[in-house]
Each structure stands twice: as C-alpha cells, then as structure tokens.
Amino acid sequence: MKYTTLPGTDLKVSKICLGTMTWGEQNTEAEGHEQMDYALEQGVNFFDTAELYSVPARKETYGSTEKIIGSWFKKTGNRDKIILASKIAGPGYSNKHIRQTGFSKDAIHEAVDGSLERLQTDYIDLYQLHWPERNANFFGQKGYEHDENEQWQDNFAEILETLNDLIRQGKIRHIGVSNETPYGVMRFLEESRKNSLPKMVTVQNPYSLLNRLYETGLAEISMRENVGLLPYSPLAFGVLSGKYLSGKPENARITLFPNFSRYSGKQASEATRKYYDLAGKNGLSLAQMALAFVNQQPFVTSNIIGATTMEQLKENIDSIDVELSGEVLKEINNIHKQIPNPAP
C-alpha cells in the first residue's frame, strides 16, 4: 500500500480508501465485515461512509452502513487503526426521509451525534458536507443554472463556526466538502482565512476516465490551496470494469437500480469501449487501468473504491501496484479529446 496525509494534517491515510455505500443494501453486515478485514490486512486504513448510506437512499436503510462499521469496530477493537470519514446529508431530492433543515447548527449537531452513535465511536476523523445546500452540482447537470427564486442564504461562515464547535468538543477532527463547486470550495477557504476558522481539507467529488470535470477549476484549487480530492465513482458505477459492454449482468448495480445510469449513455459506452481496448493492448484490465489513472493524479489524496464482491475488492486494491506509462497516459488523453467527459 502507498500512503499520504490528509492535506494540512498529520493523519496518514492509504492512497486507496474503502468506500462503503453498498453495505446494508447490496451487501450484508457479514460481507461488510469481511471487506473491512481484508482491506485492513492490505494496508487500507481509510474508510469513507455517510449517514445517507446505504444507497439507493431509502428511509428503511438510513444509517445502515454506519451501523455495520460500528458493529465491526465493537467486534474487532480496530477503531484506532482506521482514519474514518463520514458526512452529513444536505437537502436533496432523495433525502426527504432525513432532515430538511440543511446545515443549520442544530442539524449539524444532530447529524454528528447520530453518526457517532451508529459508528460506536467518540470521534470522526474527517467530517464532510455531502451536498451543497445551494442549487448546484446535481447529478446529470454539467453546468450551473441560476435560480432567482432560490431560498438559500449565504451561511458559509456559520457552518464553519458550528463545525469548529464540534472540533473543540473532540467529536470531529477535520472537515471537508463533497459534490461541491469551485465557488463553494473557495468561499469556504475565504471564510476560514478571514475568520480564523477550520479549513476544508478535502473535496469528495466524482472523478474517472468518463468524468474529468474536476480538472476544470477544482484541480487548480487542490494544487494551489492544498485541498485534496477524494474521488468517488472512479469506476463510474462499475461501467469502467467493462462488465456492461456485453449487456447488464444479473445483480449488478445498474441492473438492480436503473436510475444509476448516468455513465451508460451512447457516448459513455463508446468511450468505455475505447478504454477497454487500450487496457487490453497494454496487458491491463480496464478496471485497474481506470483506477491507476486516478491514483496517479497529483491532486488526488485517496481514491475511494467500492465493491460488492471480494473478487472486485481485491482487484481494486491491487490497482495501487499499477503504474501507467507515459505512453498509456498519452493514449488515454487522446481518447478523452475525442470524447470529453461523456457523463456528468
């Protein structure tokens, strides 16, 4: 395993982060425990979860993933070996069963306390805002559309003040954002500097061969402001494993949940085929090439992989040992120029 640190902290994290959002829906508690056991044995010490999980977000499974992690901590006593990240759910179309009070002081305190109870721990190492409260960065929307009737009021400083209170209480250690825009990241950074408040140290946004939008705006922020990317969906909901090129396998995510089809359009499929052929030409599996591409980006702190089977998990973790040559990277960029960002 390779390691880095969360930007601006002394926390050493593995370059591969274990994503957990299928536990409680596609994976049982026992399977979640098996994945955590194996990941830790392979040197993965960074786990990411959220109060929203498992997915798809449903009232019946709200918090189920955190409960599975909590039962593993209780069973194994391994809490001190793990850097743990979780998130508060922002208001969203699929979150109506949680709370609709946004990132108010009471909402943040309620969310943190609930997560700590489910996770059976006293602290969360990295606490993230899952979605902006603003009407921005929705799935399937590449650009920003201004809404004159939006009800959101500027509250960046107030959010940081609330999170600072929780840091002082020892309930969380560091903070980050998720599904955020360049505007949102820079406003948080501005408020933290101006008011001597905690800094957002990470951004958790989608990033993969099929979605490189992070490179426009946010990558420069990462490098110049020392805010690391924690990329999710590096395999584009499994599309970049190549398993959908000849149909929809039984029990695969897109087969089970057709609304997870943002990476399944005609252009995305065409690009996936090109990347599949390129990987094969260079003696690689598509999944490992796709993950290695993400691993090698200088703005990436840790690559969030997820799996529903142990076979997938092993292949994904092993991608840390794959180093793409300059020629392969050049060919990847040639395909990207032909079909840029085919899926938002």
The string over 106-117, giving b where at least 16 C-beta atoms fall within 10 Å of a residue's C-beta and e elsewhere, is ebbbbbbebbbe
Q: Is position 330 within any domain?
A: no
Q: Is position 239 within any domain?
A: no
- Tell me, yes or no, if 53 is annotated catalytic: yes
How many domains are contained in the chain? 1
Question: The domain that contains 192 carries what CATH number?
Answer: 3.20.20.100
pLDDT number for residue 255: 58
Flag residues of the chain having pLDDT under 50. none
pLDDT number for residue 226: 98
E-assigned strand segments in 160-199: 172-178
Q: Is position 214 within any domain?
A: no
In DSSP notation, 31-94 reads HHHHHHHHHHHTT--EEE--TT-SSS--GGGTTHHHHHHHHHHHHH--GGG-EEEEEEPPS-TT
pLDDT number for residue 251: 62
What are the two backbone dihedrals, phi and then psi, of residue 300, each rounded to the nearest 5 degrees?
Answer: -90, 125
Answer yes or no: are the C-beta atoms of 215 and 2 closer than 8 Å: no
Q: Is position 232 within any domain?
A: no
User: How wide is the angle at C-alpha 10 spanned by C-alphas 9 and 16, nearest 5°?
Assistant: 90
pLDDT number for residue 257: 63
Q: Is position 332 within any domain?
A: no
Amino acid letter for position 328: V
Q: How far apart are CA 236 and CA 262, in angstroms?
A: 9
Residue 77: domain span: 3-204
Answer yes or no: are the C-beta atoms of 86 and 127 closer than 8 Å: yes
Q: Is position 103 within any domain?
A: yes
Q: Is position 278 within any domain?
A: no
pLDDT number for residue 243: 87
What SS3 state is found at 180?
Answer: coil
Q: Is position 36 within any domain?
A: yes
Considering the candidates 3, 38, 53, 93, report the single residue annotated as catalytic.
53
User: Where do we find the tokens 């899952």?
Assistant: 130
